[in-house]
Every structure is written in structure tokens, then in C-alpha cells.
């Protein structure tokens, strides 16, 4: 159950970051995570997208 909440928070973080309306630093502060973790979420999302789009 905790994993699902964490996954949802990560997806929400990535979605908001991709809008370009917020800086990564601002989102990290709002989500209570370090910038290092925020960039890790973004990198993972790019790998996932490439995996599914690039085949």
C-alpha cells in the first residue's frame, strides 16, 4: 500500500515538472524531497518512456 502512494507521488511530481510551470527546486521543496531525488524521479521517467516508445 505504501508503495502505491509513493508511486503516485512520483508520477505527480514528474507530471508537474514536465509542465514547465514549476522549477524542480520548487517542486522538491513542495514534495519534501531533495533535488537529487527529484532529478532521480525525472531520469527514471525518461528511461521508462524510452523503453516503451523506443521498443
Domains, the chain: 2-54 (1.10.10)
Q: Reply yes or no on whether the pLDDT at 51 is more than 90.
A: no
Q: Reply yes or no on whether the pLDDT at 54 is more than 90.
A: no
Tell me the Ramachandran region of residue 42: left when phi exceeds 0, alpha when psi lies from -120 to 50, beta otherwise: alpha
Q: pLDDT digit string (tens) for 22-48?
A: 999 999 999 999 999 999 999 999 877
Instruction: Give the helix ranges, DSSP H, for 1-55.
Output: 2-19, 24-31, 35-54
Element (H, E) at 22: none
Q: Please check whether residue 24 is in contact with residue 14, taking contact to mean a CB–CB distance below 8 angstroms.
A: no
Amino acid at each position: 500500500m505504501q508503495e502505491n502512494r509513493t508511486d503516485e507521488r512520483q508520477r505527480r511530481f514528474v507530471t508537474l515538472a514536465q509542465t514547465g510551470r514549476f522549477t524542480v527546486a520548487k517542486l522538491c521543496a513542495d514534495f519534501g524531497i531533495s533535488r537529487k531525488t527529484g532529478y532521480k524521479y525525472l531520469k527514471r521517467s525518461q528511461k521508462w518512456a524510452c523503453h516503451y516508445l523506443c521498443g
